[in-house]
Amino acid sequence: MSKVSRVEPPALPPQGVSVRTRRWRRVRRLAALPIAALVLAGCNDHVPTKDGIPTFGAQPGATTSSHSVFDLWQGFTVGALIVGFLTTFLIVWAVVRYRRKGDNIPKQSQYHLPLEFTYTIIPVLIVLGLFAATLVVENKEVANPKTAVTIDVNAFQWGWKFTYPGQNVVVVGQTTQDPEMVMPVNENVHINLTSSDVIHGFYIHAFNFSRYALPGVLNQFTFRAVNLGTYDGQCTQLCGLYHSLMWFRVKVVSDSDYSAWLKSNANSAAATAAAKATNQQTSSIVPTKPTIGNS
Amino acid sequence: MTDVLDPPAVVEHHDEHHEEHGPTGILKWLTSTDHKVIGMSYTVTSVVMLIIGGSFAEIIRAQLSTPNNSLVSLAQYNELFTMHGSVMIYLFMGPFAFGALANIIVPIQIGAPDMAFPRLNALSYWLYLTGSITMLSGFFVAGGAANFGWVAYAPLSNSVNTPGAGADLWIGGLLLTGFSAIFTGVNLTATIFYLRAPGMTMFRMPIFTWNLLITAILILLAFPVLTAGLIMLYCDRHFGTHIFSVAGGGVPVLWQNIFWFWGHPEVYILALPVFGMVTEIIAVFSRKPVFGYKGMIFATITIGALSLGVWAHHMFTTGTVLLPFFSIMSLLIAVPTGIKMFNWIVTMWRGEVWFSTAMLMALGFLFTFLVGGITGIYLASPPLDFFTHDTYFVVAHFHSVVMALLMGAMGALYYWGPKITGYLLNERIGKAQFWFLFLGTQVFTFPMYILGLWGMPRRVGIYPNHPSWQDLNDVATVGAIMIGISSALFLINIVYSWKKYPAGDNPWDGHTLEWFTTSPPPHHNFYRLPQIRSERPTWDYNHPGHSAAAHGHAAEALIEREPTPQ
């Protein structure tokens, strides 16, 4: 038969006032560091900002929708930082202010309905606000406006094929040679995304956008690039051995450069051959093994 | 068994049937149906899995410390991160959350002598162990272990793209551990509904038990779907079906729907038990009742219900799901989770917060889970998900979440370990372990958030020579090393503290029934039980006159019982 042990209070460190004051000062000093760093970072000219708000590591990007996604990102992040810092402050305050000082039993309060109600309603309102902002940006992003240019993007293990229908232009590239998707600036470009084998991720960092290339599914979306430049793209969905090497580039050029590029790359024989290759899955597109990452 | 009379508060029993009969030593471990022995087997096995999965993580971080690294080949890298994720999710966190501590603590918390089906319980453990060995044995077959990611997306996981026995062993291992989980779910549900001690009404059950009940129900709803999906995948691989392949008229995205219909509830199957552990720890080490006890339970039920309707937020970028529905459902989970967060904070408010290792781990959980929860809100918004999907931002997000869960789990080991073994762990080493784990986690995850924003995709074994990417990866690797040190400290602590600090029955001034019995508890758990008149029977017994009070009521006014003389 056992005995229920009456509770022995745990040993506490010496309760000297000076010790505690010193410790308290150290806590305050430590707590001041990150706050000071943040304030300094806010005042620093080197912190990238847009519309007076820090970019928080993201970038507005090169398309119209990447700008709205970026605005949404900024809004979410400002909210997240406010909620995050407030909650962290409450946690730190509770544990510092109410750290164990003796052996008394605190008041055993368990319910406070108005308080509980408050912190149920406020998150609901925040969530509805975030959802509304999400809907606005999402509807812009998934809209299918009238387009002048269409590019068929086909992903395969392990490369990309960009077909310009009606132009006799096909660009194919594999792990050893990244293909380049050329598109005109300030023009709605319609993308038809497919996959020949497994699932791939069509991700262009500068466009703040990704979409799966799924076998048997045609995914369609529209880009409207606003900045000239060459941007990196990569497969983001694990697709087998050389997933790490499945890069491509997107080159946004002026309208006249685009027409010139189309003309100089038109090759009907090659286009027909490449089109056939897609239909036969990957049989005719055998990836060359890259030198790095031996298997 | 144990009965309760009222009054007197305590009934004593001297029956011989409390004495344990049968084999001892290794044979006892092999043949036992005692929930505590099975729970210990679960605990030891899952901690071994944690170490195996953690060592894979250290190799992964070493590989990523320099661009174009050739420490491991791309093929080996794919196996490593696949098995890291699989071991951590399927073989460590799940079995630890609903197998190990649930098995030991839930029956004691509700005053039961054992689980409802002790032999089924033993079967669960042995299925888990054999499943784990099956999955890991993939490393020893030709072609290596599974390498299609822990989510095994079709058609990458079919027999053309992933031939070899490693993938089959992965499927087989997961089927076995899946059945183990289902049986545990059955057992927990039956135990909690039918074996509660007299006086232990549903709304007097400790939060940990409540959370395990909801977890068990989620297991019963979600795991059979995974099991079915795995059988379909196996048929596709070997019996010529075309369920997930386009060539035969199948639908690859169907696998994702099946997988995530299990996979998202699974997140809460892992998290809810840890929420329960943290709730108990925070209340005990603040010397206060759980604030908003009933609100806490309704929040858990809400999370469980919502978690069944959010799976497609993993599939926003497939372009095949209804975005606004899954977006609002996912965002709404923030509400009950927020309620829990504030309940935890208010529980500490005006308490007497004692910084034991268990409490520090729980506080580390609060902060890390806050970070993981807030970044999860971004991913519930489809445009922001398009922007960060399958980049390191996602990796950082779910590592914040699971590292928070690991902290909660470690806290639970420090909190309940003395009850199971009878001995305390060293607090000084424990606190060092906490700081390495907590700081290491932040050093590890924060660079990964930025890497994701800068465009680094996940699951890449090599990345281009990009100086800023390398710097951030190096910082993350330092964090991973710190986490590795914390795990080493945990093992060192077990060896160092081995049978050194006897715990006594109630070292933390606990609230719930497990602190009323001996450490370790006897066969069938109790010699006697206190009156159960709230969710804190042990506290009520030890501190008459300090029962929980509603707002505005003096605690003393609600209690009239005299202290019971011993």
Please report the DSSP string for A167-212 in residue order. Answer: TTEEEEEETTS--EEEEETTSEEEEEEEESSS-EEEEEGGGTEEEE
User: Residue written as tokens 């499927």?
Assistant: B171
Q: Please write the tens of the pLDDT for every residue from B324-373.
A: 999 999 999 999 999 999 999 999 999 999 999 999 999 999 999 999 99
Q: Give domain status of residue A14, yes or no.
A: no
Is A76 in contact with B377 (Cβ distance < 8 A)? yes
What is the per-residue pLDDT for A37?
Answer: 54
CATH number of residue A154's parent domain: 2.60.40.420
Is B74 in contact with A119 (Cβ distance < 8 A)? no
Which residues share a beta bridge with A194?
Answer: A154
Is A293 in contact with B455 (Cβ distance < 8 A)? no
Min Cα distance A187 → chain B (Å) is 21
Min Cα distance A75 → chain B (Å) is 11
Q: Give domain status of residue A106, yes or no.
A: no
Domain count within chain A: 2
Q: How far apart are CA B34 and CA B327, in angstroms?
A: 44
Q: Give domain status of residue A183, yes or no.
A: yes
Q: Give domain status of residue A20, yes or no.
A: no
Q: Give domain status of residue A22, yes or no.
A: no
CA trace torsion B514, B520, B523, B526 (10° rounding) = -30
Is B331 in contact with A127 (Cβ distance < 8 A)? yes
Of B156, B341, B547, nearest to A238 by CB-CB distance is: B156
Whether the CB-CB separation of B146 and B86 falls below 8 Å is answered with: yes
Axis crossing angle, helix B392-421 with helix B252-286, rounded to the nearest 10:
50
Min Cα distance A270 → chain B (Å) is 27
Model ipTM value: 0.89
Whether the CB-CB separation of B531 and B9 falls below 8 Å is answered with: yes
Is A111 in contact with B454 (Cβ distance < 8 A)? no
For chain A, how many residues are written? 295
Q: Give domain status of residue A158, yes or no.
A: yes
Same domain (yes/no): A68, A164: no
Of B346, B381, B387, nearest to A130 by CB-CB distance is: B381
Same domain (yes/no): A184, A225: yes
Same domain (yes/no): A94, A218: no
Same domain (yes/no): A169, A257: yes
Q: Between A and B, how many residue pairs show a Cβ–Cβ distance under 8 A?
A: 304
Same domain (yes/no): A153, A277: yes
What is the per-residue pLDDT for B329?
Answer: 95
What is the per-residue pLDDT for A34?
Answer: 55
Q: Give domain status of residue A35, yes or no.
A: no
Whether the CB-CB separation of B531 and B540 falls below 8 Å is answered with: yes
- Chain A nearest-CA residue for B342: A119
The yes-or-no verdict on residue B168 having pLDDT over 90 is yes
Same domain (yes/no): A119, A58: yes
Of A106, A215, A235, nearest to B155 by CB-CB distance is: A215
Is A127 in contact with B334 (Cβ distance < 8 A)? yes
Interfacial B residues in 353-412 facing A (CB < 8 Å) = 353-356, 363, 366-367, 370-371, 374-375, 377-378, 381-384, 386-387, 389-391
What is the per-residue pLDDT for B22?
Answer: 72
Same domain (yes/no): A207, A269: yes
Whether the CB-CB separation of B248 and A215 falls below 8 Å is answered with: no
Min Cα distance A166 → chain B (Å) is 26
Q: The dihedral of CA A250, A255, A260, A262: what is its sign?
A: positive
pLDDT by residue, tens only, chain A of 295 residues: 344 444 444 554 444 445 555 555 555 555 555 555 555 454 555 678 887 888 888 999 999 999 999 999 999 999 999 999 999 999 999 999 999 988 889 999 899 999 999 999 999 999 999 999 999 999 988 887 888 899 999 999 989 999 999 888 999 988 778 899 999 999 999 999 999 999 999 999 999 999 999 999 999 999 999 999 999 999 999 999 999 999 999 999 999 999 999 999 887 677 666 666 654 444 333 344 343 333 3
Same domain (yes/no): A273, A158: yes
Interchain contact B193–A (C-beta under 8 A): no
Q: Give domain status of residue A27, yes or no.
A: no
Whether the CB-CB separation of B32 and B115 falls below 8 Å is answered with: no
The pTM of this model reads: 0.89
SS (H, E, C) B159-175: CCCCCCHHHHHHHHHHH
Number of Cβ within 10 Å of residue B302's Cβ equals: 17
Interfacial B residues in 441-460 facing A (CB < 8 Å) = 449-450, 453-455, 457-460
Domain hosting A211: range is 149-282
Q: How far apart are CA B450 and CA B384, in angstroms?
A: 14
Is A116 in contact with B292 (Cβ distance < 8 A)? yes
Of A56, A221, A237, nearest to B390 by CB-CB distance is: A237
What is the per-residue pLDDT for B20?
Answer: 58
